[in-house]
Amino acid sequence: MKQSRKDEIQAQINYRLVEKVSKSMKEQAVLNEQLQNSIQFQDKVIESLSDLLFVLNPEGEIVLTNARTSSILGYKKEDLENKPFVCLLPESKGQSFFNTIIEQRSIKDVNCNLISLEGEVIPVSFSVNTILKPNGETVNYVICAKDERDSKLLKELRETQSQLIESQKMASLGTMTAGIAHEINNPISYVMSNLGTLEDYSKSLVHFLNAFREIDFNSENLGSQLHSFGKLKDELDLDFVREDLVPLVEESMKGCIRVTEIVQGLKDFSKIDSGEIDSVSINDCLLKSIDSVLSEIGQEIKIETEFLDELPQIQCQKEELTQAFSNVIKNSFESNKDDVLIKVQTLLDSDNAKIEISDNGCGIPESILPQVFDPFFTTKTVGEGTGLGLSIAYGIIKNHGGSIEIKSKENQGTSVIIRIPLG
CA distance 112 to 97: 9
CA dihedral 184, 186, 192, 198 (to 10 degrees): -130
**Strands 302-306 and 341-349, how do they pair?**
parallel
Write out the DSSP string of 325-381: HHHHHHHHHHT-SSS-EEEEEEEEETTEEEEEEEE-S----GGGGGGTTSTT---SP
SS3 317: coil
Provide, for the chain, the percentages of residues in helix, strand and coil under a 3-state DSSP scheme, each rounded to the nearest 5.
55, 20, 25
Helices marked H in 214-237 — which ranges? 222-236
Element (H, E) at 88: none
Cross-strand partners of 112: 124
> Which positions of the chain have pLDDT values less than 50?
165, 272, 274, 382-383
Task: Report the CATH number of the 278-421 domain.
Answer: 3.30.565.10
Confidence at residue 417, expressed as pLDDT on a 0 to 100 scale: 92
Spatial contact of 66 and 53, defined as CB atoms under 8 Å apart: yes
